[in-house]
Structure 1
């Protein structure tokens, strides 16, 4: 059975006003048209919806049931329309985000928190993967946007430079240099560096080589296929030093001290990058990219 929504609206209006005439006026239609709609609906369901009298109309038990169901239906329709409008504006729906750096670090966490507070109807799915896996996920649509530290080498589509972070040394609290507020790159030339192969390991390795490599004298660098969190755990043991983005200083490692590294040109920095696919027309993605364009979050060393 196909119910005409205009007939159902006529039933609700007549129930509310207790009069076909007043209901027709409220709907801006002729009373005869309203009466035909209601009569047609009664014929469809095989039941009378109103008790008619010279004093007006009153719902029958069948009419009460129909009116209750009709109100619920129109509430659902209104919700559906609002949800569609929000989705069209990028204020609702699903956003699949991928990160090549830990989501728990301060700036990434702040960006997500700001977006969730601004658009609570958007469901954000988060995954942490290597840069190569994120590039593949962008191509398959498993991820709408990826944020990586350093250059997006495996991505050929559109990208956006985000915030820039200082590079800091991670030292055991027992290391002599941990007592200095700022250290020089040259102070680290005899150290053994431990880096994660995960993002932004390659950028950090290249930075160490740029700062410390000399003809016949390369710095000692070990790279492990493990997370940055585990690298910091090994630094805490006192066998290595490491370098990280300054946002990692927000994480608590009691036996690790973070210190800014400088040379004659000042502190070193690394820039975070957002990547996405040109063909992805998701309004939720467009809205999140706008949040990223407006994101400026300072970080303080501790």
Structure 2
């Protein structure tokens, strides 16, 4: 697969949010025909149609909805990583240690962790298995 520029992926998100190439082009500051070509090239690279085009605008196809959903997560992760790298450079990092018994509410815990990560990109989380001896963590 040929390389896809990050700006193109960001443009796809803006097109979906705006519901039109014209609205998206105003928001990202490029001509709507250039934006449309960029999205068409992305669709060609992926081998699938991401947007249904109508006279009143555009709507993501099922494949487009899946890609955009995953893309939002990936770009949020990237933003968090970049924010962490920036804060690490300035020495403003912190940490959190939590003991987790996976048999109790693991899904709720993971959702809480995911929300925490999204809200605090300046904090690095590390998970490790703790050794248990006679009911104590060591």
In 1, Cα distance between the equivalents of 2:55 and 2:124?
Answer: 53
Deviation of 1:92 (Å): 1.9
Alignment-derived partner of residue 73 in structure 2: 72
Q: Greater helix percent: which structure?
A: 2
Q: Secondary structure at the match of 2:30?
A: coil
Q: Secondary structure at the match of 1:58?
A: strand
Instruction: Decide whether the 8 Å contact of 1:17 with 1:23 is kept in 2.
Output: yes
Residues 93-119 of structure 1 deviation map (CA, whole Å, 9 limit, x = unaligned): 79xxxxxxxxxxxxxxxxxxxxxxxxx
In 1, Cα distance between the equivalents of 2:66 and 2:45?
Answer: 15
In 2, Cα distance between the equivalents of 1:25 and 1:78?
Answer: 23
1:122–1:29: structure 2 CA closer, same or farther, 3 Å change rule? closer
1:43 correspondence with 2:48: no
In 2, Cα distance between the equivalents of 1:121 and 1:33?
Answer: 38
Instruction: Decide whether the 8 Å contact of 1:20 with 1:31 is kept in 2.
Output: yes
List alignment gaps of at least 5 residues for structure 2: 96-121, 126-138
Deviation of 1:122 (Å): 7.5
1:6–1:121: structure 2 CA closer, same or farther, 3 Å change rule? closer
Give me the TM-score of the superposition, normalised by structure 2. Answer: 0.65
Instruction: Decide whether the 8 Å contact of 2:84 with 2:124 is kept in 1.
Output: no
1:58–1:77: structure 2 CA closer, same or farther, 3 Å change rule? same
Deviation of 1:121 (Å): 4.0
Deviation of 1:3 (Å): 2.1
1:83 correspondence with 2:84: yes
Instruction: Decide whether the 8 Å contact of 1:6 with 1:37 is kept in 2.
Output: no
Instruction: Decide whether the 8 Å contact of 1:87 with 1:93 is kept in 2.
Output: no
Runs of 4+ in 1 over 3 A off after TM superposition: 120-123
Alignment-derived partner of residue 16 in structure 1: 17
Alignment-derived partner of residue 54 in structure 1: 55
Deviation of 1:84 (Å): 0.6
Alignment-derived partner of residue 130 in structure 2: none
Q: CA-atom RMSD, angstroms?
A: 2.0
Structure number with greater CO (CA < 8 Å, separation at least 6) is 1
Give me the TM-score of the superposition, normalised by structure 1. Answer: 0.31
**Greater gyration radius:** 1
Q: Secondary structure at the match of 1:91?
A: coil
Instruction: Decide whether the 8 Å contact of 2:49 with 2:61 is kept in 1.
Output: yes
